[in-house]
Amino acid sequence: MAQSLVLKARMGKALRLPMGSLIRIVNTHGRQVVDTWAFAETDISEFMSMEHSRVHMGRVNPVAGSVLLTNRRRPVLTIVEDTSGGVHDTMLAACDIYRYQMLGCTTYHRNCTDNLREALGELGLVATETPSPLNLFQNSSIKPDGALVIEPPIAPAGTHVTLRAEMDIVIAFSACPQDMAPTNGADMMPKDAEIIIL
Amino acid sequence: MAQSLVLKARMGKALRLPMGSLIRIVNTHGRQVVDTWAFAETDISEFMSMEHSRVHMGRVNPVAGSVLLTNRRRPVLTIVEDTSGGVHDTMLAACDIYRYQMLGCTTYHRNCTDNLREALGELGLVATETPSPLNLFQNSSIKPDGALVIEPPIAPAGTHVTLRAEMDIVIAFSACPQDMAPTNGADMMPKDAEIIIL
């Protein structure tokens, strides 16, 4: 039977997921970016890598059917279904305290990097690095001159992406807390998402 | 007085470089990709990060004047001059033994990941991870549909890029050994490059 949890706005969550599992990320309210990471369950130094995945996919962004690879070029996740309109990002770092400082924030701002650390910490895990995430639903538009522009996501409310684990993994998510740029929509208001283990 | 060294085809080299130094990478024979990394001299866990640099540059590829950032979003290198035609890549992982295995290689093939490890090792350093490199002169073309195609470089013989160190760094280079794809030109023949400390 499917298990569901709410990924609260601005928060993270990590889960152990056996090989072959299907997991669905629902954009409950629409236009919310969900940073996504995957680590080999047996060795956290092996993780999903955007730079290795782009070589393998021959694409800058994944589409239904795309297979994402680890930093040892082993399949780790497959996108088996995508009802969101298919706009996702592989190019932007997770937000962090430094990013919010650069945007003018003078107090602590929740961020995807710390969300990952906290979520892994709840499982007793420590990552040596913050891998570049798969930014589900993020709309980073590449212009013909190479400019990279962060635009509001297009994913409508209730749409989703379903992923299959291609090895035993720890999967982690962060409902991106970005509220100083239109990353999560023109209203700049982070929202909940939903995670369903099918 | 300028110091020069030949970066031999298929090989790597790392150097300590004080803040403010200028270093020139010359594409001696043309069309050779030079994978480039930079690490904070005082803490190798801080390194030049393509995913953080893309956010800061607002571009997928650097141009003259672009400032590259570390994974803590501090300026680490500036492109101060570029006579090569300005085509470089920030999206592709360094090649490694897994990549050559996937291309059908059944014996050891030199690769940029091992070149980085060897080059750092000569300085007594061990990196915990292989950061995604700045692939100088690499021509990875993004198509309107998101396809990412590795095409032969356009950099003519004798052209160069000059970088300025924005902190005390260890800088590392690999003359990419790729000879099973047109990464280093249609002749698929890796060639020497030249490194000049100005």
Comparing A72-81, A168-177, A180-189, B46-55, the range with the smallest average pLDDT is: A180-189
Of all residues in chain A, what percent are helix, strand and coil, respectively (each to 5)? 15, 40, 50
Q: Say if B149 is an interface residue toward chain A (CB within 8 Å).
A: yes
Q: Say if B104 is an interface residue toward chain A (CB within 8 Å).
A: no
CB A28 within 8 A of CB A155: no
Instruction: Examine the pLDDT at A4 and tell me if it is beyond 70.
Output: yes
Contact (CB<8Å) A129/B128: yes
Contact (CB<8Å) A61/B146: yes
Give A56-89 pLDDT, tens digit per residue. 999 999 999 999 999 999 999 999 999 999 999 9
Contact (CB<8Å) B49/A93: yes
DSSP B184-198: G-TT-----EEEEE-
Q: Which of B70, B126, B132 to mutate to test the interface with A (most CBs of A within 10 A)?
A: B132
Structural domains in chain B (count): 1
Instruction: Examine the pLDDT at A124 and tell me if it is beyond 70.
Output: yes
- What's the pLDDT score for residue A111? 98
Tell whether pTM > 0.95: yes
Determine the distance in angstroms separating the CA of B5 from the nearest CA of chain A, rounded to an integer: 30
- What's the pLDDT score for residue A2? 83
Determine the distance in angstroms separating the CA of A3 from the nearest CA of chain B, rounded to an integer: 33
| From B73, B91, B132, residue closest to A98, measured CB to CB | B73
Task: Specify the length of chain B in residues.
Answer: 198
The beta-carbon contacts of B48-52 under 8 Å, at least 24 apart in sequence, are B48/B76, B48/B77, B48/B131, B48/B134, B49/A93, B49/B131, B49/B132, B50/A51, B50/A132, B50/B90, B50/B91, B50/B131, B50/B132, B50/B133, B50/B134, B51/A50, B51/A91, B51/A92, B51/A93, B51/A132, B51/B132, B52/A93
Instruction: For residue A92, give the chain B residue with the closest CA.
Output: B51
Contact (CB<8Å) B91/A96: no
Q: Say if B126 is an interface residue toward chain A (CB within 8 Å).
A: no
Residue at token pair 């400082």 = A101
- What's the pLDDT score for residue B1? 65
- What's the pLDDT score for residue B128? 85
Q: For the beta carbon of residue B67, count every other beta carbon within 10 angstroms.
A: 16
Question: To which H or E segment does residue A98 belong?
Answer: helix A97-102
Q: For the beta carbon of residue B149, count every other beta carbon within 10 angstroms.
A: 12
Instruction: For residue B102, give the chain A residue with the closest CA.
Output: A73
Residues contacting residue B58 through CB under 8 Å, at least 6 positions apart: A147, A148, A149
Structural domain containing residue A9: 3-197
- A106 by Cβ neighbours in 10 Å (0-12 / 13-18 / 19+) ranks as exposed
As a whole number of angstroms, the distance between CA B123 and CA B179 comes to: 28
As a whole number of angstroms, the distance between CA B62 and CA A19 comes to: 39
Residue at token pair 């798969």 = A134
Q: How confident is the model at residue A1 (pLDDT cuts 50, 70, 90)?
A: low
Query: What are the mean pLDDT values of chain B's consecutive 10-residue runs (198 residues total)?
Result: 92 98 98 98 97 98 98 98 98 97 96 98 95 98 94 97 98 97 93 98
Determine the distance in angstroms separating the CA of A165 from the nearest CA of chain B, rounded to an integer: 20
- What's the pLDDT score for residue B93? 98
Helix, strand or coil for residue B160? strand
**What is the percent of chain A with per-residue pLDDT over 70, rounded to a whole number?**
99
Question: Which residues 25-84 of A have a C-beta within 8 angstroms of B?
Answer: 45, 49-52, 54-55, 57-61, 63, 71-74
Q: DSSP letter for B140, please.
A: E
Q: For the beta carbon of residue A104, count every other beta carbon within 10 angstroms.
A: 7
Instruction: Examine the pLDDT at A128 and tell me if it is beyond 80.
Output: yes
Task: Confirm whether the ipTM is greater than 0.95.
Answer: yes
- What's the pLDDT score for residue A145? 92
User: What are A64's two structure tokens?
Assistant: 């239904």
Choose among B88, B89, B112, B90: nearest CA to B100: B112
**What is the percent of chain A with per-residue pLDDT over 90, rounded to a whole number?**
98
Tell me the pLDDT of chain A averaged across its residues. Answer: 97
Choose among A49, A35, A9, A13: nearest CA to A196: A13
- What's the pLDDT score for residue B2? 83
Determine the distance in angstroms separating the CA of A27 from the nearest CA of chain B, rounded to an integer: 23
